[in-house]
Amino acid sequence: MTNRFDRSIRFFGKAGQEILSACRVAIVGVGGLGTHVVQQLAYLGVGEISLVDSEELDESNLNRYIGARHDDPIPGTPKVNIGARIIEGVDPVIRVKKIQNSLVSQEAYEAVIGSDCVFGCLDSEGARLVLNELCSTYARPYIDLASDILPGNPPSYGGRVFINWNGEGCIFCFGILDRDEAQRELEDPEARKNREAIYGIDRAELNEIGPSVVSINGVVASLGVTEFMLGVTGIRSPKQYLMYRGHMGRLTEPDGPPAPDCYYCKGIRGLGSAADVEKYIRAGVGHYLR
């Protein structure tokens, strides 16, 4: 082991660094949050990083994507390539797997199942539900990150980190997931077509997006990576739920137990292939999830 990790080892020890070097992490969503996570995991010396994202860089991403360059072709620059370039620039020894595809695809599923820990940096509630189910089914620690800015006078802004480390609660039973939106996004293509014909297309599907800035994303990503690092190296168990209220200058731990008898935590956790999470692939919903 080189001296490059000397200052980290002074914190969590040589054994902790060896654990990180052997760790395989999947990052689903290599965007405003995900690129921060990529960079920090690379500096920590995580041994293998799988990058899952189907999209290409857009001009509106240039205000907050770590590693995006002014001369990156738009269109034509896959987001997974930006993530891989970050890692290569930090430490070329790290193994990188690029999956330029939806989460709901066989190769993305395999990357998540083959990992030791999963970061979800997603905009889609449907994709969050699928990733939550996939991680529960295969008992993979899942770190879900989200940032938000609500316009107003003054605006409110911040984000959250939710960690399902060992099956003691998930984004579903804690009520964090927008279940109605997830259900709409996971409709089969025929049902979606019928709903759109009757009610029109949802605003979210018309690409109407809210504000997002690099520093707020950085705070949320750093909180998530820090909890991951503490848990993996054995310094302490990760905090389950952290809420960053930037407009108030506060970091809180919301109270309240999860809903009992959660299907994802109690019903299918650890069942593996028997839970048939592949049903989403067969239904062909991946095209609608971002």
Q: How confident is the model at residue 257 (pLDDT cuts 50, 70, 90)?
A: confident
CA distance readout (Å), 165 to 128, 135, 222, 250, 265: 16, 10, 17, 24, 11
Among residues of the chain, what percentage have pLDDT more than 90? Answer: 82
Q: Quote the number of domains for the chain.
A: 1
> 11-45, pLDDT tens digit by residue?
999 999 999 999 999 999 999 999 999 999 999 99
Q: Is 184 a member of any domain?
A: yes
Spatial distance between the Cα atoms of 106 and 24, rounded to a whole number of angstroms: 18
Q: Does the residue 2 lie in any domain?
A: no
User: pLDDT, tens digit, for every residue of 202-227?
Assistant: 544 434 568 899 999 999 999 999 99
Residue 3 lies in a domain: no
**pLDDT tens-digit profile of 66-98?**
999 999 999 999 999 999 999 999 999 999 999
Instruction: Determine the Cα–Cα distance for residues 186 and 171; give it in Å rounded to an integer.
Output: 17
**Residue 52 φ then ψ, to 5°:** -120, 115
Query: How far is the C-alpha of 38 from the C-alpha of 118, rounded, in Å?
Result: 12
Q: What is the pLDDT of residue 152?
A: 87
Residue 191 lies in a domain: yes
Query: What residues make up the domain containing 199?
Result: 8-280
> Cα–Cα distance between 240 and 162 in angstroms, integer?
6
For residue 263, count CB atoms less than 10 angstroms from its CB and return exposed for 0-12, middle for 13-18, buried for 19 or more.
middle
Residue 70 domain-assigned (yes or no)? yes
Q: How far apart are CA 289 and CA 171, in angstroms?
A: 18
CATH number of residue 125's parent domain: 3.40.50.720
pTM greater than the 0.85 cutoff? yes
